[in-house]
Amino acid sequence: MKALSTILLLGLFATLTGQTALGQPTDPSHQAHVLVQNFYRLVVAHETIGIYGAEWKIFAPYFSVSLSHKIKTAQSCGRDWSRQAKKRPPEKSPFSMEEGVLSGTDDKTGDRPSFSVERTVVGKDGSILVYVSFKQLWPSPEKPVIWEVAPKLVMEGGHLVIDDIIYLQRDNLNLSEFLKVPGCEGSRWVGNAKK
């Protein structure tokens, strides 16, 4: 009975203070802020160019099932294009992306950018947009390059995950659209057949 009383008191404390028994905030906006902060620390430290590389595995726990599926499908189509490319004359790959697809920047050759989580906005559908500002001092510290992205978070399996990333400097193009490579039909490359 004493254990039950303790659990009920902890639940009441969490409700009144907005924190769990372990001291972690239950406010979704705060949780979204912390999740995106941790995600972009990894992105700045490890992001690969384009949609390939072993480092993608470290980002996977942050993604929704839907976004993970879109990424894996695009990667599979790229591998199928490469397999088929061995049987035809050399041509430029439609998968030769030179963008940092998680950070929304075109150029990852300079110094790693710094970032700050600016604000969170909760949508009517319960999704949360987290606005992130990047600053890169390369090529000129006097004229830094600044841009913004907005990861869209949704609740999945009882916790927040990233369901998409909006590139605000690119007419609000998003990662999901970026992953739709013309010539792909699911995980198969059919681009040449369409010609």
Judge contact between 144 and 45, C-beta under 8 A.
Answer: no
Instruction: Please tell me what DSSP assigns to residue 137.
Output: -
Residue 62 has a pLDDT of 97
Tokens read off for 158: 């009882």
Map out the domains of the chain with their CATH numbers: 27-194 (3.10.450)
> Hunting for tokens 């906006």 — which residue is that?
29
Residue 46 has a pLDDT of 83
* Full pLDDT tens readout for the chain, 195 residues: 454 344 433 443 443 334 444 555 578 999 999 999 999 999 888 876 777 776 788 999 999 999 999 999 998 998 898 888 888 777 777 776 666 788 887 655 557 788 999 999 999 999 999 999 999 887 778 888 899 999 999 999 999 999 999 999 877 789 999 899 889 999 999 986 544
Residue 41 has a pLDDT of 94
Tokens read off for 15: 């409700």
Residue 154 has a pLDDT of 98
Q: Residue 106 and residue 184: Cα distance in Å, rounded?
A: 23
User: What is the value of pTM for the model shown?
Assistant: 0.80
- CA torsion angle for 92, 96, 98, 104 (degrees, to 10)? 130
